[in-house]
Amino acid sequence: MKIRLFCLVILGFAFVLMSPLMVFGHSYVSESVPEDGAEVDVVEEINLTFNAGIENVSTATVIGEQGEIDGRVEVNSPVLTIYFDEALPPGSYEVQWQALGEDTHTTEGILSFHVAETEEEVEIVEETIEEVPNQAIEEEADQENEGVIEQEEITEELFEEDEVGESKEDGNFAILFIGLAVLVAIIVIVLLTKRRRS
């Protein structure tokens, strides 16, 4: 009886010791750059370090606010690296990884991080916001100036037309006056001629 009890204790103790080995024998991410939940300024690549060896077929996908991000995955066990053609723009990202461990077991997981806007990007955004109303004000001022110029041109045209009309009227009045003067002169001459004959 004591021997059986002793054997059971030994077996139970061995199982307890072997359980962590069985669990941790699978490949999981033990470290990442950027870290899970971190806020960073620049991300040009992502490194996932596993607690056990992984096969080359292991992969990962990066999801941004606009959808899936193109990246090149390279595996150098136990590290999986995702390379990008250019630094990721500001925003929130999620890394969905799937790994095939050297023990032939498949594991998967998700980690996330956030790329913050740099001071230069914030300044550019602020300048853009300031430029938009300024441009609108300038365009409105230009339109008003164009309206004033058009109004001035119309006024000048009307003034010129008035001057031309007045000139024509003055010319007509001069012709009429000359005609009347000639008519009066003719009448005077005719009357003088009649008197002389009488």
pTM of the model as a whole: 0.53
Q: What pLDDT is recorded for position 17?
A: 46
CB 47 within 8 A of CB 125: no
Helix (H, G, I), strand (E, B) or coil at 62: strand
Given strand 91-100, what is the order of strands in its sheet?
38-40, 106-115, 91-100, 59-64, 67-69
Confidence of residue 125 (pLDDT cuts 50, 70, 90): low
Which helix (DSSP H) or strand (DSSP E) does residue 64 occupy? strand 59-64
Please provide the average confidence, as pLDDT, over all residues in the chain: 81
* Mean pLDDT along residues 28-35: 97
The per-residue pLDDT for range 96-122, each reduced to its tens digit, is 999 999 999 999 999 999 999 987 755
Which helix (DSSP H) or strand (DSSP E) does residue 20 occupy? helix 2-24
The per-residue pLDDT for range 75-94, each reduced to its tens digit, is 999 999 999 999 999 999 99
63 φ/ψ angles, rounded to the nearest 5 degrees: -115, 125
* Domain assignments of the chain as residue spans, ordered by start: 25-116, 118-198
- Across 65-74, 110-119, 166-175, least confident range: 166-175
CA distance 33 to 81: 10
- 81 exposed, middle or buried (CB, 10 Å; 0-12, 13-18, 19+)? middle
Architecture of domain 25-116: Sandwich (2.60)
Helix (H, G, I), strand (E, B) or coil at 71: coil
Least Cα distance to 71 among 80, 112, 118 occurs for: 80
CA distance 108 to 112: 14
Q: Is the model's pLDDT at 195 over the cut of 90? A: no
